[in-house]
A and B are shown apart, each in its own frame.
Chain A
Amino acid sequence: MSDRARDAPDDGDDPVDTSFVGAPHPQVTWVELDGQVAILHQGTSEVHVLNPAGSLVWQCLDGEADVATLVDELHEATGEERGVVESDLVALLSQLHRQGLVTGR
């Protein structure tokens, strides 16, 4: 996969694979309340709420770890099968990327 910035949502090209390194988009701000993350996209003014598992992932998005690393960490933390963790994580990040909440490289 190329190193081009992958921060353009809805470009029809899903950039999320195991090498994807995600981070909250600069236009978002977020809070954690009782283990759930609520994210404000300041461009659209929409607020998105993640479930507890998605909230855990969100808080791991530091712009440094790639998906493969996150899969390892979440596999260890949750005991879930690695393949399941990977497919869930890729699906979640793809959705967050489409919504403009996550940027990545």
Chain B
Amino acid sequence: MTAPRRAGSPLEAGPFVALGHRFGVRSTDRELGEAVAAVLTTLAADEGGAVDGWYDIDPVADARHRLTWQGQPVAERARPANVARMLAWHVNRLAVDSALADHVVLHAGAVTRAGRALLMAAPMQAGKTTLAAGLVDRGWAYLTDEAVAVTLDGGTVLPYPKPLSIDPGSQSVLAHWRAGVPDALATPSRPRQWQVAVTGVGGQVGGPARPGGVVLPHYRRGAATRLDPVARAEALAELATCAFAWHGEGLAERFAALAETVRLSACARLVTGDLDEACRQLERWWRDQVGEATRWAG
């Protein structure tokens, strides 16, 4: 067993804001703390202020670290890259919880252009993050790759610019995103999910946006990439299956919010076999279906 590493002085970073979850990060391993703070940079609160709680990162032994939230363990013996991943997972969970009371929260990615948001709603492994990254590469502003919060009037999509979580399966087509992974979080020996701040690869973060498009993506290896319009009522039913906590009190109000979201949007189904082609088809569709409405939006 090797002794815990304590590189430099402790680090304290924050506040960060993930929807309604305000938090800070403290680390007694300065190098790792700085790396974690770097991938969280797009969540940094502009106005500063207090935090609701702290994540603490402390070396234990054998290059492992303990991660806690408010003193409660999130991970006891995690490798550096896993510290960032587990922290992102925990932040995401509390971010979703924090938004549920006043928003409909969808398992979806989103990007924005000219003040209108494109929602990409699907279960895990459908290619949401890869599509979001591909569109960011084409100049779209990033809102999120995981959880879209829509106001209860259905008219506004909020940014939740968490680090993109790029799975090994997408890393070959997004190889340049590797540059956004801090060295302290790199795992050269085997492919693992990358946590990347969109600004780390020259991307932009978008602000609150009016819905403009809803896409239901589905990645299928080797499939011909194809985008087909889908009826708004069908899109609404699909969005409902992607909503967090879709039950209980207030369900009718959230249903009405999603109905308004699709009413404001062009809707399509996208089978993706090739990222570049998917982005090309999406941009063409967006220009045809939504572009007219956004022409004067700046």
Contacts and interface: CB of A to CB of B under 8 A. Distances in A.
Contact of A45 (B246, B256, B259): B246
A49 B234 contact: yes
Contacts of A29: 252, 255-256
Contacts of B259: 31, 33, 38
A47 B255 CA distance: 9
B247 A33 contact: no
Contacts of A45: 240, 246-247, 251
B228 to A, nearest CB: 16
A38 B262 CA distance: 12
A38 B251 contact: no
A99 to B, nearest CB: 13
A27 B262 CA distance: 23
A47 B232 contact: no
A40 interface: yes
Q: A-side binding surface: helix, strand, loop or mixed? A: strand
B255 A40 contact: yes
Interface in A56-71: none
A89 interface: no
B240 A40 contact: yes
Interface string A22-47: 00000001010110111010100101
B231 A36 contact: yes
Contacts of A34: 231-233
Contacts of B234: 36, 49
A38 B263 CA distance: 12
B251 A42 contact: yes
B237 interface: yes
Most buried by B among A31, A34, A42, A47: A47
B236 A31 contact: yes
A17 B78 CA distance: 65
B40 to A, nearest CB: 34
Contacts of B240: 40, 45, 47
Nearest to B253: A29
Contact of A33 (B233, B246, B251, B252): B233
Contacts of A50: 233
A74 B231 CA distance: 24
Contacts of A47: 236-237, 240-241, 255
A38 B252 contact: no
B269 to A, nearest CB: 14
A90 B234 CA distance: 24
Given A33-B236, A45-B247, A47-B237, A40 B252 contact: yes
Interface in B224-253: 231-234, 236-237, 240-241, 246-247, 251-252
Given A31-B233, A37-B233, A45-B247, 19 more contacts: A29-B255, A31-B256, A31-B259, A33-B231, A33-B262, A34-B232, A36-B231, A36-B234, A40-B252, A42-B251, A45-B246, A45-B251, A47-B237, A47-B255, A49-B231, A49-B233, A49-B234, A49-B236, A49-B237
Interface of A: 29, 31, 33-34, 36-38, 40, 42, 45, 47-50
11 contacts: A29-B256, A33-B259, A36-B232, A40-B240, A45-B251, A47-B255, A48-B237, A49-B231, A49-B236, A49-B237, A50-B233
Interface of B: 231-234, 236-237, 240-241, 246-247, 251-252, 255-256, 259, 262-263
